[in-house]
Structure 1
Amino acid sequence: MNYLKIKRILDVIFALLGLIFLSPLLLLITILIKLDSQGPVIFRQKRFGQHRKVFYILKFRTMKLETPSEVPTFLLENPEECITRTGKYLRKSSLDELPQLVNILKGEMSFVGPRPVVCQEISLIEERDRYHANEVPVGLTGWAQINGRDQVKTKEKARLDGEYVEKIGFWMDFKCLLLTATSLFNKDAVVEGKQDDFFEE
């Protein structure tokens, strides 16, 4: 059987189990967000998925309502002023990504793959084309994320996504998931705010 078919089956099983077993945590986060600030609990944003197909990625809302919804965080001048108190913890711990289990169940994402790109990041999408990285399912975590996360510039991120495509398979996905747990403790890898050199080589 083609690995991508096996990957899809595993995605559905573990996404469903994740939603069931993490439901108390999801409820707690929902309550904290509602107590902390006004607005919806879930944030929806257009992203490019596999084959450049646009879908709405789901996250727990970490920003105040007045924050521009279609602007990537790294392009904001003063992101710290836009992030809610609960949002700061959710972003540092990546717990804001948990609603993407629903995206995985719907087939819009996988657990492992190149991260879905914000529609304004055309340069990254074009760079990924060079490595065929737009042809595989996008992921909750990926090879580029565990090799620098927000610190990786566009061309290097695309190269790392291409490296994932070359090595895609059960052990590569397992390695990505295993290393993701470690990278979550590296708070320096999370960069908030405008990065002038982000698109340099």
Structure 2
Amino acid sequence: MIRFLDIVFSLVGLLIGFPILLLLFIIGIFDTGAPLFLQERVGKGKRPFTLVKFRTMKVNTSSVASHLASITSITRLGRLLRKTKLDELPQLWNVLKGEMSLVGPRPSLFNQEDLIREREIRGVLSARPGITGLAQVSDIDMSTPVLLAETDAKMLASLTISAYFRYILMTFTGKGVGDRVPGKN
């Protein structure tokens, strides 16, 4: 049922959100010259997939987890996109393709070995990664790999249709701050 909801909501979101996506893409061209950010992430079963987001940092920024990035790397448009979570909209494409779910553990980078190990121990990597979830609405980011993996496992063990909608609603209403950049806490 959750996969069905993912398909319906991502398709509707992409269709209805197309004017916003197009506008942000055009503004992003003026902001960084490369409005989309593509990055290989850890997917279900530890398989790689290419995550797509709107770029919020300068083009030459190192490919590290947000909590390791410099605040000076974030562009002016990037600050707005992060604050409103609009940088996540292109991930609806990843959801539609079946690489992600709307709700699930945030996909890590392959160089986040501690987090991957903790998630493997707890079986978290058997699920599709998500755009939002319990950790995100609880202000738990990737800087605390054990707590994050424990929270992800707890969410997956109790994920119901009701919880699915609750996490999405909490995200839309601004609960949680997502992955932090130093100086932005």
TM-score clears 0.5: yes
Q: Secondary structure at the match of 1:140?
A: strand
Distance 1:123-1:190 versus aligned 2 partners, 3 A rule:
closer
Distance 1:190 1:65 in 2: 19
1:13 to 8, 17, 24: 8
2:66 to 62, 70, 73: 73
1:156-199 deviation digits (Å, cap 9, x = unpaired): 111110101211221121221122223x2655x652139xxxxx
Distance 1:100 1:43 in 2: 11
Counterparts of 1:80-91 in structure 2 under 5 Å? 80-91=71-82
In the TM superposition, what is the alpha-carbon distance from 1:74 to its structure 2 partner?
Answer: 1.6
Partner of 2:114: 123
Q: Secondary structure at the match of 2:180?
A: coil
1:39-89 deviation digits (Å, cap 9, x = unpaired): x22110111011111111000011112212x2222223xx22211111111
- Size of the aligned set, in residue pairs, is 183
Computing the radius of gyration over CA atoms, which structure comes out larger, 1 or 2?
1
Q: Secondary structure at the match of 2:53?
A: strand
In the alignment, is the contact (CA less than 8 A) between 2:138 and 2:176 conserved in 1? no
Distance 1:175 1:11 in 2: 14
Q: Secondary structure at the match of 1:177?
A: helix
Distance 1:57 1:49 in 2: 9
Partner of 1:199: none
In the alignment, is the contact (CA less than 8 A) between 1:111 and 1:139 conserved in 2? yes
Task: Work out whether 1:93 is the aligned partner of 2:84.
Answer: yes
In the TM superposition, what is the alpha-carbon distance from 1:128 to its structure 2 partner?
Answer: 1.2
Distance 1:185 1:164 in 2: 16
Partner of 2:137: 146
Partner of 1:62: 56
Provide structure 2 residue ranges, at least 5 long, that are not aligned to the other structure: none
Distance 2:104 2:135 in 1: 9
Report the TM-score when normalising by structure 2.
0.91
Partner of 1:198: none
Distance 2:142 2:110 in 1: 20
Distance 1:134 1:99 in 2: 22
- Identical amino acids, percent of aligned pairs: 38
Partner of 1:3: none
Counterparts of 1:96-175 in structure 2 under 5 Å? 96-150=87-141, 153-175=144-166
In the TM superposition, what is the alpha-carbon distance from 1:152 to its structure 2 partner?
Answer: 6.5
